Structure 1
Amino acid sequence: MSQLVTGDAVVLGLQPARLPSRTMALVIDLVVVVGGYLLVSVVLLSTVLSLGTATADAVGVALLLLVLVGVPIAVETLSRGRSLGKLVFGLRVVRADGGPIRFRHALVRGAVGFVEILLTAGSVACVASLVSAEGRRLGDVFGGTLVVRERMPVTASAPLPPPPPWIAGEFAQLDLSRVPDRLWLAARQLLGRLEQLDQGVAWSMSARLANDVMASVGVPAPQGMPPAAYLAALVAERQRREAARVFGGPPVQPAPPPVQAPWPPVQAAPVEAVPPREIPERPGEAPRAGGFTPPA
């Protein structure tokens, strides 16, 4: 995974969980789930055994899938990626872009995990985690998820700053599907730590990241808009669309552009924004309209 590094060598990224902690968390989850399965199966099968062997076998298979597959999926969905074992060891399952998982992510993890963990005694999951640089098993690869450490010996990140109210809905018509997950993750991490960074470093990193996101979106940023505000507006718009898909709701109509952009001046910026169509991205590349320029 690509990571942004500040001038003080501070990495803005999530800390992937290692195999030992994931294994111990899995052991706790398996003890609870298998113990519950054995207890429920003894009680339930004893009541349906009088109905015939075929009925008892059908109930046994349904109970196996319900408890060993359905329960972990339900727990991860309702707890946003924190099972009992992960809660004990301070772990959480998140999306590849750092956001909370949904039902479809937990479903893929649970379905693949039944094969690579239960049917193979965890050997496939162990090999996949050792091969992956981020410790991801096959369920994480197919589900687009990552198990990270929540308990870190650092200051907690600040919440994402909200976008300015006068641009609400301005990016509602943009196509954000072409922005890769690594850029969303970097944007979330950077916006959450802007208050902890030097203003010059924050401007430089925001400008570089905003240029990369702008290249994926294909639409230049509004004239005079600071790069951090541009990133915050796009992240908020993406979160709004995800919430609308899950919970429903009327679409947000784009707001008309203001007559004069009321962006507050950046007092401590080490450089000034270069006018559009005058910013070369890299040596040998054509200038890009509406971009931001980091300090040299």
Structure 2
Amino acid sequence: MADLVIAEGVELELRPARLASRFAAVLLDYLVQSAIFAVFLFVSVALNAGSGNGDAQRAVTIVIIVLVTIGYPVLSETISTGRSIGKAAVGLRVVRVDGGPERFRHALARALAGLFADLNFPLFGAVALGQMSVLWICLVGLPGAIASVSSRRGQRIGDLLAGTRVVRERTEYGRGSLPMPPAPVVATWAAGASVGDVPTGLIVAGRQLISRVFELERKAAAELAEELVRQYSAFVSPAPPPGLPAYQYLIAVTGERFRREAGTALASSSTPVGPTAPAQPGRRH
């Protein structure tokens, strides 16, 4: 287990990806990259068929290898915020060490370091020139595997340089579903409570927990929900119905806060120009 820090310094415990699952994701991505490489190579050979320049074709092949090896993970992880095809298939995602989404600069740093450090591409080139393919098979990826096993967060060299880590999106409890709406009595309480006084950072933390609760260990999720409710209770009054679970408390408060913010934004956008509309008496914050 390892810690991720979100809004208000609250820590989430997420499971780092295991070496076996990362290897499976890499293998699937390698198959996809091989297919892309084959297509580009076929096109380049067809275009240079009449030139008869073997050196130029070899140079083009090297360029295609580098572009596919670096471009594929950068493009796929940037578009999907941390999920290549292989990672999506085995339920993994790349995130920043602070729990935020992966961006282009992180994906680029991971791809470059993965090629030249984790996979040891310079060694691959030297061994390929010496026709020592068996030695390369034994050594390729060894630096990255050693770094991943040695790191508490399971970070390879590329992750350490990019400030990222790979976590499991799926747990033995499954991906889960969207939270159920609160019970009518709870919704009625939230509608009259002072949910507008809760700091925005705490609301964001609650929404993050609700959206990612099925990625967490049950014990960690319960402890975090209890801690958030304790902080919310300093701003929310009156007290909730007796026996309300912490998770349902967060759903009710954050949902009511969203409803009010959406209503305020809609009212602001539809306010006519002219005399001020009469205020609604008895409206709570």
**Aligned sequence identity (%):** 34
Deviation at 1:82?
1.5
Question: Of Structure 1 and Structure 2, which has the larger fraction of its residues in helix?
Answer: 2
2 CA distance for matches of 1:40 and 1:25?
A: 23
1:152-231 alignment, distance < 5 Å: 152-154=171-173, 156=176, 188-189=208-209, 205-206=227-228
Match of 1:258 in 2: none
Instruction: Please state if 1:96 is matched with 2:118.
Output: no
1 CA distance for matches of 2:153 and 2:223?
A: 27
Match of 2:76 in 1: 75
Match of 1:28 in 2: 28
Aligned 8 A contact 1:110 1:139 in 2: yes
Amino acid at match of 2:158: G
The gaps in structure 2 that reach 5 residues or longer are 6-10, 124-139, 180-193, 238-249, 259-283
Match of 2:109 in 1: 108
Deviation at 1:98?
2.1
Aligned 8 A contact 1:3 1:186 in 2: no
Deviation at 1:31?
2.5
DSSP 3-state at the match of 2:14? coil
1 CA distance for matches of 2:195 and 2:3?
A: 33
Match of 1:117 in 2: 119
Aligned 8 A contact 1:34 1:68 in 2: no
Aligned 8 A contact 1:93 1:100 in 2: yes
Match of 2:169 in 1: 150
Deviation at 1:118?
5.3
Aligned 8 A contact 1:12 1:190 in 2: no
Q: CA-atom RMSD, angstroms?
A: 4.8
Taking a change above 3 Å as real, the CA distance of residues 15 and 157 of structure 1, as seen in their structure-2 partners, is farther
2 CA distance for matches of 1:75 and 1:191?
A: 23
1 CA distance for matches of 2:208 and 2:170?
A: 18
Match of 1:131 in 2: 150
* Structure with more contact order per residue of length (Cα contacts < 8 Å, sep ≥ 6): 2
1 CA distance for matches of 2:151 and 2:119?
A: 16
2 CA distance for matches of 1:53 and 1:79?
A: 38
Aligned 8 A contact 2:119 2:141 in 1: yes
2 CA distance for matches of 1:202 and 1:100?
A: 21
Amino acid at match of 1:130: V
Match of 2:182 in 1: none
| Aligned pairs, number | 208
2 CA distance for matches of 1:55 and 1:151?
A: 46
What is the TM-score when the length of structure 2 is the normalising length?
0.54
Aligned 8 A contact 1:12 1:186 in 2: no
Any idea what the Cα deviations from partners look like across 1:160-199, whole Å, max 9, x if unmatched?
xxxxx9979x98xxxx9xxxxxxx9999448855xx99xx
Structure index of larger Rg: 2
What is the TM-score when the length of structure 1 is the normalising length?
0.52
Taking a change above 3 Å as real, the CA distance of residues 129 and 39 of structure 1, as seen in their structure-2 partners, is same
DSSP 3-state at the match of 1:13? strand
Taking a change above 3 Å as real, the CA distance of residues 133 and 186 of structure 1, as seen in their structure-2 partners, is farther
Match of 2:19 in 1: 19
Deviation at 1:44?
0.7
The gaps in structure 1 that reach 5 residues or longer are 5-10, 160-164, 177-183, 211-220, 237-261, 264-296
2 CA distance for matches of 1:209 and 1:143?
A: 33
Q: Which runs of 4+ in 1 moved over 6 A?
A: 165-168, 184-187, 200-203, 207-210
Amino acid at match of 1:40: F
